[in-house]
Structure 1
Amino acid sequence: MKEKHTWDKVHNWDEELDFLKSIIVKTELIETQKWGAPVYTLNNKNILAIGGFKNFFTIWFYNGVFLKDDSKVLINANEENTRGLRQWRFTSKKEIDEKLVLKYILEAIENEKKGLAIKPQKKEMPKSDFLEKQFNSDSDLKNAFESFSPYKQKEFLEYIETAKQEKTKVTRFEKIKPMILTGVGLNDKYR
């Protein structure tokens, strides 16, 4: 028996999510499993995903910002961080208009075929005068730090720079210095 892929944080929406899946399978999208959710792709590009939350279930479009949204059903769930993704939330199966959902899905597929996509923004590496001073007085520490990937370097820099007081920066530095020297990333134990 094929494993059922469902992302339903509260297990309230099995029937509703199955109904959304029954609409999606009428298209050329391929179901994959990413981040614990059923994600539907075209040519290995994420088009949409579905999932259940405490108070609603949703279909989200990865490049939903390009959808016309004539029915005004899409929302940006996180204005501060989300540029392209848009959600369509439901609280009951009877809210799902199959023809309208299919229309949005087909438009999302066409947008992908046209190459419409939000390109990821490159974020600048944070600066830390505090760490620079430490590196200037300890070349071994500097070399060990530079051996980390930019992503892991950024974690260390942000960890130091989010401290508001100098004494907190010192305390945090004392914690991470042995980690840096032994090649252990700040969040490696969680990976």
Structure 2
Amino acid sequence: MVKVVNFKAFLKLVREEAEKAKISFVNGKVIFVPTPYFTKMQNAVIKYGNLNQLYDFAVQNFKGANVKALSERILKSKQPILNYKWALNVVGANALSHGKVVLEDKDPFLNMLYAANVPNANVREHEKLVLLSKEPLACFNFAFKVKGAHIPSHVRVIVEGTDEVAKNLLKENHEFLVKKFTESITPYKQRDKLRDALQSSTEFEFI
């Protein structure tokens, strides 16, 4: 067995081999077929690499990489931050599978980040966890950053809490949150009327 001392140098060799992947079309989709040598190097990383090396390999997004096989040990590790980074940066990552690891960790801030930044994340499940945590700053950030957030529920947590920082952020961003909320609801004809009513108030009276 060849011992790999310099992993960065190894990745350069892998990249050279990845560029030799052949393009194939399957059901109208472009598929990269890797060379046998690339597959051999990838399998070595899957079998012998540590978790950081697995991530460093996968995040290169090599043509023909087997993301599902590479991710198995990452999922089994149950490391929430590593799974978040993987879902965020590895093309083809299964957002729902890695999201479950993050949900199990129950960190409201990490769940907020996951919902805000990872494409195809299960926003509703991460939102439930953040709301149940009653963490005002996590709720504010969820309302502010996450597309599809149920803003009234997050505002309620902040208003009923004692965190003055979150309350001040709520006041400072009142106009933005009102606009975001009214643009997310139907029927469309009621938006302007509701927005005007909310903008003229000092409280979020739609709670």
TM normalised by structure 2 equals 0.29
Which protein has greater RCO, CA pairs closer than 8 Å, 6+ apart?
1
TM-score between both structures, scaled by the size of structure 1: 0.31
